Structure 1
């Protein structure tokens, strides 16, 4: 096989597609995998493939650099120094290829000097084209970067204050997950450097209760995110929800809620009510994600949403994880609701008898019949067994909605 190197690299480009900045774009799609918790991905296999391509020849190195460095995972050595360093990125110029970065945790305590805004911003400044920043809880400090600086890194010293705030104007999405070592100050300072941020995902991990307490010390003032259109909350911390009520989000239209705190008893309804009261006037899209598979069965969030969000246009729910709504038509404020997405996924280890599943789905469908303004119903997942039930099929037919599957095929 004698193919031009450009064509070979194009083949390998598609073999490693999609890169993170495409997979986790700032554009909302119902039930997209990018709406859910960032998976524990191991990029070393793809990185090794790209690295081997770059070793073929100087020409291949030049041709492959663009996607070899499109995603940079920062790590730390035993001395807690970040690799690759800002000086190495500046010298090589490889930072200009980065479209997404994954920043790692420090080796030391909750808010060490080595994990501050003053340390990270000079590094991120060398990656001017970055669109996506991720800080997942599993991004261990000892992560590796395949091309290390040729010169040994200097010993760490306390950071100096930046002369002026940085501005990462191309970043449109921030994925921030935390555990007990969540550095809330770094999060706060980073967000303030993202004037064009469109998508913010905040995820807590079980047992990460310190995050809420840390928030109290930082967010005494309102956090203003002027361009944000999508907020994804995957949190199990009541304090995190309360603090998010203090954010000013004038352009927010999309809200994704993936998890709720079941350990706080009955207050979850009050927390959600406060959240919808705060965001509901601009909210057009609401997605209730998987959560912990049972959380949304404990309270009727759909009724809350349609009662408190008058501009709601699209509603997406995993129906088997959600309580059947109870709101009457007179209580519904969302007169603009036009499109409902229902997902038929069943929680692992929680498979209901088919009779119970079809009954639950049928009750959801029948509830939407009172919506005279509703036009479209899209079915996601495997509905084959459910639609064999005559009662469910009849309920769908009686809605007079345009019913289709997720691939666009009309039903029936």
Structure 2
């Protein structure tokens, strides 16, 4: 339906409305750490449908909303050539001035199938060069790429362009194409991103000498997915003076993770454990507390994906705030309330003497309706902890 001619709003107000209607929920367009934010997740289909619908209402809305439509771009082989031409073409902006569509792109998802050893990746590089204000680059995991190229040295060399506007990189490493360098090489990309603030790493990393010399001066958030112990130890050799937040989505060998805590613990303010059943197999909280991460003030974890040691945790941490997400887990212990009871005893116990706030994320409605919950809550209140929902802010 076209806008009512009797109710004309100024373009600035329409733009505000469009922004609110098309804003992703999980902060993928930001380099700022947000608790329990998704990783490598697509922008929701609802958001995409809304963007497509807005540009089909009328000419005015199309002019105003096209920038939102191309804010998040996923490059695919069947549209690569057309996308390359469109992003570099001249279009009219919402102010009626000529504008290159590539200037609208803020997040770009570039699969390895477009920069593999069967191609020089020239089209992908041209797409990147057409996006001068790109903030987030995603190299996603694609199962079909694994093992496809047994001799990566036979492939084309891949180029790269300066990525000076990039503040976030979500990188799933593919060693079979990394040898071609350029946009396929983590080292080359990191050397081209001087303002990188948020880095997600996952995949199969082979040892590389140049990884030891990386200096990322403004990186504040490091997200670790499934990476090897060898690579974790190499990360401990990086120069990361601004690092404040580490998100551990998947635990590696304990000695490597303990080295991460030991190396960066004195400068971290936040540590988060991800939503992964691997945290149910062993106690990862106790080693984290024992590693001496003395400056960590906030610890976030998913309570139904995380197990505590059967023994008393005999270490003290200066954590002041704990965020617990109630996302359900199919592998949760049969006795859910015994599991909750243990966690709340730990929160209220001597291991966290500085604890002041417990923030509840996710859906706690069913848990809070249970008559057993007030007892758990009372333990924290008796300790002097302030309990609140994340939606309450403050």
With the length of structure 1 as denominator, give the TM-score of the two structures: 0.74
The CA deviation at 1:197 is 0.7
Runs (5+) with no aligned partner, structure 1: 142-156, 205-210, 262-267
Aligned partners of 1:324 and 1:363 also within 8 Å: no
Question: Structure 2: how far apart are the matches of 1:104 and 1:140?
Answer: 11
With the length of structure 2 as denominator, give the TM-score of the two structures: 0.77
Change (3 A) 1:60 1:295: closer
Task: Name the structure 1 match of 2:198.
Answer: 199
Question: Structure 1: how far apart are the matches of 2:75 and 2:143?
Answer: 9
Change (3 A) 1:227 1:290: same
Change (3 A) 1:314 1:14: closer
Question: Structure 2: how far apart are the matches of 1:308 and 1:112?
Answer: 48
The CA deviation at 1:82 is 5.2
Change (3 A) 1:19 1:91: farther
Task: Name the structure 2 match of 1:146.
Answer: none
Aligned partners of 1:361 and 1:392 also within 8 Å: no
The CA deviation at 1:98 is 1.3
Task: Name the structure 2 match of 1:150.
Answer: none
Write out per-residue CA displacement over residues 146-199 of structure 1, whole angstroms, 9 at most, x where no aligned residue: xxxxxxxxxxx967967xxx4322221111224675647423222221111110
Task: Name the structure 2 match of 1:379.
Answer: 360
Question: Structure 1: how far apart are the matches of 2:340 and 2:173?
Answer: 38
Change (3 A) 1:322 1:349: closer
Question: Structure 1: how far apart are the matches of 2:140 and 2:129?
Answer: 20
Question: Structure 2: how far apart are the matches of 1:301 and 1:37?
Answer: 25
The CA deviation at 1:61 is 4.0
Q: What secondary structure is seen at the aligned counterpart in 1 of 2:89?
A: helix
Question: Structure 1: how far apart are the matches of 2:389 and 2:61?
Answer: 44
| 2:103 equivalent to 1:100 | no
Write out per-residue CA displacement over residues 226-262 of structure 1, whole angstroms, 9 at most, x where no aligned residue: 110000111153344333333321110000001124x
Task: Name the structure 2 match of 1:152.
Answer: none
Question: Structure 2: how far apart are the matches of 1:310 and 1:271?
Answer: 18
Write out per-residue CA displacement over residues 286-342 of structure 1, whole angstroms, 9 at most, x where no aligned residue: 011112x2435413334434542111111112233323264424xx4x43x221222
Task: Name the structure 1 match of 2:67.
Answer: 66
Q: What secondary structure is seen at the aligned counterpart in 2 of 1:317?
A: strand
Runs (5+) with no aligned partner, structure 2: 91-99, 146-154
Q: What secondary structure is seen at the aligned counterpart in 1 of 2:368?
A: coil
RMSD (CA atoms): 3.6
